[in-house]
Amino acid sequence: MSDLATMSKAGFMPRAVASIIDAVILLIIWIALQMLLGNTLGLLLQLAVAIGYVLGFWTTTGQTPGHKAMGLRVVRTDGTRLDLSHAMLRYVGAIVASIPFFLGFSWVAFNTGRQGWHDKLADTCVVKV
């Protein structure tokens, strides 16, 4: 367990850049799968890869490659690592947060705890490491 009180929470811009880095990585994988497998099978496999990518990194290191590049880590609000159930809840929450014009992600910029809707839902936060 980490002392979350001494950790600095990440703001909107570093988190947005980390997400862009991860999106580029996943886009490259998507293009390769489309070229190798075609539209339907490539799309289904890409969906599985994207979910596995995020859940795998969040539950093992707390850092996707984008987070690592930006010096960020996703943790529970008690400072511990995410388990699979909280990672899945955060992932679903991220989908919901994106629906109303990404308002749930933008919330990070205005929330004093620097949590988006998906963070609130899954009891998580993103800290600087």
| DSSP code for 62 | S
Kindly list the distances between the CA atom of residue 109 and the CA atoms of 10, 12, 13, 37, 55, in Å, as whole numbers in the listed order. Answer: 10, 5, 8, 40, 24
| pLDDT tops 90 at residue 3 | no
What single string gives the DSSP state of each residue in 71-99? TEEEEETTSPPP-HHHHHHHHHHHHHHHT
**How far is the C-alpha of 64 from the C-alpha of 57, rounded, in Å?**
5
| pLDDT tops 70 at residue 1 | no
**How far is the C-alpha of 17 from the C-alpha of 120, rounded, in Å?**
21
18: tokens are: 């980390």
Out of 32-46, 65-79, 89-103, 115-129, which region has the weakest mean confidence (pLDDT)?
Answer: 32-46
The pTM (predicted TM-score) of the whole model is: 0.92
pLDDT band at 42 (very low <50, low <70, confident <90, very high): confident
- pLDDT of res. 39: 85
| pLDDT tops 70 at residue 95 | yes
Domain boundaries, the chain: 4-128
- pLDDT of res. 7: 85
Q: If you average pLDDT over residues 108-122, what whole number do you get?
A: 95
Q: If you average pLDDT over residues 74-86, what whole number do you get?
A: 97
